[in-house]
Amino acid sequence: MQKAVRRIISDIKSLRIQGARNIARAALRGIALEIKASKARSLSALYKELQQTAVALASARPTEPMLRNTINDVSRFAFFQIKKDAKTVAQAKQLIVKKEEELLKRMEDDVKRLTEYGAKLIPEGATVMTYCHSSTVTGILKRAHEIKKGISIIACETRPLFQGRITAHELAEANIPVRLIVDSAMNAFMKNVDICIVGADAVTSRGDLINKIGTSTLAHIARFHDVSFYSAAELYKYSPLTVFGQLERIEERAPDEIWPRAPKGVVISNPAFDATAARYISGYITEVGVLPPQSLFAIATEKLGVKIYE
Ligand code: RUB
């Protein structure tokens, strides 16, 4: 495997590349890099190399359907389409790289549409609480600021890796009023909040949301205060296997992210994500509009081209 691709994998594992969209985009870039540099002499050798790269990239973060769905698109394309259309390795390489460019473009178009729906949804002068760092959410907030909604943001710092600081920094650079609070201050500040918007790592067939650990706490507190709670989720965040009863696996990360050199005898648990039940979610902001949690499954299934009747 190319050194640059191994680097992408280690950057995803270490969270130097973080957030579902950035991870999926980096993986696509990784596939294109590998294919462009491939020395395969036959179509089957090229396909094998693609599969190995795809599996290595897809396993870099286990709780990421967008990563898996996007990589699946390239693999399926290579398997079915290239067999049909490519006569030489050079042609196949060209087709795969073109597919990668198309997918990146589609991701950009989708998030642009989603951003517009999200910005429209935010009330004038609203205080918005957010959690962790989601490029989709910061995109919505920047757009809302651009169309002069007069918003201000409360960002939770998001222990243990403080992705909330990335959010706060990015919004401050965009001249959006932003306040950073510790996660345990969520409840104290919720009475000043008009709307909560978080990102999404995965959405299940029941409409439950899997996102950074602590998201469900925020959703429960928002419900207690009657504040609406939205998740910004492109349809590619949907996890298709959940309709067949498979649970989305929650990634367990290294204990030293919480306490490096912890004393012997202290057991540390460090799940990266938690699940928020659909009933706490006012809606998903997607590229086709703001959807009730229960309907995301049908629309995403269609977009992903997953067949559930056969
Ligand atoms: C990031 C996180 C984000 C989602 C969505 O977790 O939970 O809310 O990934 O991000 P981590 P985006 O920092 O562990 O990757 O909207 O950018 O896809």
> Whole-prediction pTM value?
0.95
Which amino acids are annotated catalytic? 132, 201
pLDDT at residue number 263: 97
The number of the ligand 1 atom at minimal distance from the alpha carbon of 136 is 16
* Segment among 10-19, 167-176, 299-308 with least mean pLDDT: 299-308
Distance from residue 150's CA to the centre of ligand 1 (Å): 25
Whether the pLDDT of residue 83 is over 80: the answer is: no
Helices (H), 122-225: 135-146, 163-173, 186-190, 215-224
Q: What is the mean pLDDT of residues 203-223?
A: 98
Closest Cα to atom 8 of ligand 1: 199
Write the pLDDT tens digit of every residue in 109-164: 999 999 999 999 999 999 999 999 999 999 999 999 999 999 999 999 999 999 99
- Confidence bin at 73 (pLDDT 50/70/90): very high
Percent of the chain with pLDDT over 90: 91
- Enter the tokens of residue 152: 């201000």
What tokens appear for 153 in the block? 């943001």
C-alpha span between 135 and 237 (Å, rounded): 14
pLDDT class for 307, splitting at 50, 70, 90? Answer: confident
d(CA 262, ligand 1 centre) in Å: 27
- Average pLDDT value over all residues in the chain: 96
Q: Identify the CA nearest to 37 among candidates 88, 93, 78, 119.
A: 93
Mutational test site, ligand 1, from 14, 110, 111, 134, max ligand atoms within 8 Å of CB: 134
Q: Is the pLDDT of residue 80 over 90?
A: no
Residue 66 has pLDDT above 90, yes or no: yes
Ligand 1 atom closest to the CA of 233, numbered from 1? 16
pLDDT band at 310; cut points 50, 70, 90: low
**Maximum separation of any 2 CA atoms in the chain, in Å:** 64
**Measured between alpha carbons, how far is residue 31 from residues 2, 90, 118 in Å?**
10, 15, 31
